[in-house]
Every structure is written in C-alpha cells, then in structure tokens.
Amino acid sequence: MEEKHKFTIGIEEEYQIIDIESRDLVSHVSKIIEGSHATLHEKLKNEMHESVVEMETSICQNIKQAREEMYSLRRHLVELAKSHNLRVSGGGTHPFSDWKLQNITTKDRYDIIVNDMGDVARSNLIFGLHVHVGVPNREEGIKIQNIARYFLPHIYALSTCSPFWEGRNTGFKSYRQKVFAKFPRTGIPSYFNCWADFEQYVNILVKTGTIDNAKKIWWDLRVHPIYPTIEFRICDMPLRLEETLCLAALMQCIVAKIYKLHQQNISFRSYRRILIAENKWRASKMGIDADLIDFGKEITVPYNALLEELLEFIDDVVDDLDCRKEVEYAREIVKMGTGADRKLNVYKETGDLKKVVDYMIAETEYGLF
C-alpha cells in the first residue's frame, strides 16, 4: 500500500486502580505516576478521577510496534501497581464501586468540567480505549469520518466490557456508554460536507461560549483538533491486551481501506447518524449477541455476519499493513465472548462481584509474564 506512514497508530488505555484487599477502586493515581521510572512516567497520565490511570503509546508505525510497546508498558504498569499493594485492571466500568466516594483530580481542566457539569462529570467513572490513526490531512479525515461511522457499532460490539454499575447487573453489555451519554457532544458524529463545514460548527460553539476549544467535542469518532489523526473513542477498555490490539488493527484497516477507495474515486454509501445510532444501541445492549441492521438490505442480521462482511471489506489492506493476526483475533473474541460476556459468566457461577474483579485483574495480566 502506498504511503503506509499515513496510518500510524497511537493507543490510549484507561486502567482501573484497585485495592487488593477490598477489590474497590482507590484514588491512588499519584502513587502510580510518582513511583514510575522515567520511561513509563512519560506514558502515564491522570484522568478526571484519581482512581484512573491512562497509559498511552508513542506514535507507532504499525501494529507490530504497538504490540511490542504495549506489552512492555502494561507489564511495567502491573508490576508498579503491585509494588504499592495495588492492582490495575481493564474493563469499561468497575462492578460495584461508588463514584461518589472517588476523588476528582485537582487540575484546572477538570475543575472547569466539574464546575460546568456537576454530578454529570463526577459520576463519569468510566474507562475507555481511544485509538488514533494517522490521516493524510483533515479534509481527507472528515471524508473518512463520514464513512467510518457506519462501522462503529461493529467495532464497539467486540469491545463491550461494562455490564455492571454500582453493584448491579445493568442488562447491558456496555453500560459505560450510557453513563457517558449524559455528557454533551457525545455519540455518533453528524455528517460534514468538508473540513470547513466542521470548523464552522466549532466556531459557532466557541463564539457563543459553549466550549473553549474543539477538544470538548467527545464524539465516538472525531478528526482530532490538534493531531493529524482520526480518533476512535467508542470502545470500552478491554481486558486482554490482544483484544486492544485487535480493535486498533481493525480501526487502522478501516481508515486505510476508505482512503484507498477515495484514491480510486470509489464511493461508499454514507448512512444517516440516526440509523447508525440504532445499531450502536443494539451493540450496547447485546454486544456480539446482537442482531444488527443491514441498512442496504433493510433487514437485521446476526453480528457474526456483519463482522465477516467487515473482515472481507478490509481484506485487501490487511497484509499491506501486516496486521492479519491481530485482525483475525476478532473471530477469537466472538468464540470466547467479549469481556462483558466473560464477566457475566463469572458472576453467574459465583454470585460474587469481587470474584468478577479478580477475573478482570487476571485477564488484564493475561499473557504478560
């Protein structure tokens, strides 16, 4: 594939900081960050709650580089947490922690958000996976965003990993998105004719004092306002590292394939946001057990069928990007169940949410040592 560098990858994972005795979230991010060595320190960041630590990769040229870096980073993070008698875990929500008992990070950015949104911000105790894929320019980025929106529910279903909230089985495979939906400017983005069309939208919000910058647009997919990337933000934080790598590879391939079609002057139908949102709801509720809507045929089809369509759609860019192993792991996720499915199985067998947390910790460390 020409110009592979345009599809660089940057991955951001939000980890839960857990007390090994109570299995509850604890506000100890300062211990994690202050205790990290120089290499890891540069990769760790605070989030709004002190029980969250974000780990981010450098700009990776391909998924193989991302794999090597993420294995090293996650190993170090796990070991660092253990040295403080803490644990870190994936998962989109903690099974029983009470957001009202968690400290907010002292930082101007978060102070402003909390003052502006009150308990909507304070209760946003959720953990996501964000993946940046490099794009040639923002104009092309908007065109890719318009098309890639269709595939968001396909990717999201694979990532579902938040069935519990405040001690309850919510009935959703991903309740995290329901919590985040209380924020403004979230969800599936609208269609934009061009970058100038998007800029006009942002300028209106800034001019009217609604936002002070475009980073306060928290859509499930956005052309980043600062970096030359398109950022996928819809996914729950997975458990196993292999799941993260699979999701990132799928996103990279979708971007590369749409760009390839544009280079060949081939169009791909763009579906309305309100239709795509229906599939997002189904994915949130049922994950990979959902029947999603095939808008072209105007019928519902099992998730597996649409996943296979997606894998076929991107197949001609997978080998150029050297990520076939990672992409095909999607079938393994379907076979073993998403993080939500597996956590629900543990709860069904034990009836104990602390056992669910133990499972989350073990899966987060899976294959690292």
The per-residue pLDDT for range 222-249, each reduced to its tens digit, is 999 888 999 999 999 999 999 999 999 9
Residue 2 pLDDT > 60, yes or no? no
d(CA 309, CA 151): 11
All structural domains of the chain with their residue ranges? 4-364
Q: Which two tokens stand for residue 288?
A: 């990979």
pLDDT given for residue 59 in this prediction: 95
pLDDT given for residue 73 in this prediction: 94
pLDDT given for residue 38 in this prediction: 65
pLDDT tier at 358 (50, 70, 90 boundaries)?
A: very high
Each residue's pLDDT tens digit, 57-109: 999 999 999 999 999 999 999 999 999 999 999 999 999 999 998 888 888 77
Nearest C-alpha neighbor of 158 from the set 89, 232, 223: 232
- Provide the phi-psi class of 351: left if phi over 0, else alpha when psi is between -120 and 50, else beta: left
Q: What is the chain's mean pLDDT, rounded?
A: 93
Each residue's pLDDT tens digit, 257-311: 999 999 999 888 888 999 999 999 999 999 999 999 998 889 999 999 999 999 9
What percent of the chain clears pLDDT 90, i.e. is strictly above it? 79
pLDDT given for residue 1 in this prediction: 41
Q: What is the dihedral of CA 106, 111, 113, 116, to 10 degrees?
A: 150
Each residue's pLDDT tens digit, 107-149: 877 888 888 889 898 888 999 999 999 999 999 999 999 999 9
Residue 179 pLDDT > 80, yes or no? yes
pLDDT given for residue 39 in this prediction: 65
Nearest C-alpha neighbor of 50 from the set 30, 20, 78: 30
For residue 191, the 8-state DSSP code is P
Stated pTM of the model:
0.94
CATH T-level fold of 4-364: Creatine Kinase; Chain A, domain 2 (3.30.590)
Q: Which two tokens stand for residue 99?
A: 């957001």
d(CA 43, CA 39): 7
Angle between helix 324-336 and 241-263 (nearest 10): 130
Each residue's pLDDT tens digit, 322-355: 999 999 999 999 999 999 999 999 999 999 999 9
pLDDT given for residue 349 in this prediction: 98
Q: How far is the CA of 245 from the CAs of 70, 171, 241, in angstroms?
A: 9, 27, 6
Q: How many CB atoms lie within 10 A of CB 5?
A: 10
d(CA 338, CA 330): 10
pLDDT tier at 357 (50, 70, 90 boundaries)?
A: very high
Residue 141 neighbours by CB under 8 Å, 6+ apart: 135, 195, 223, 228, 229, 230
Q: How many CB atoms lie within 10 A of CB 123?
A: 17
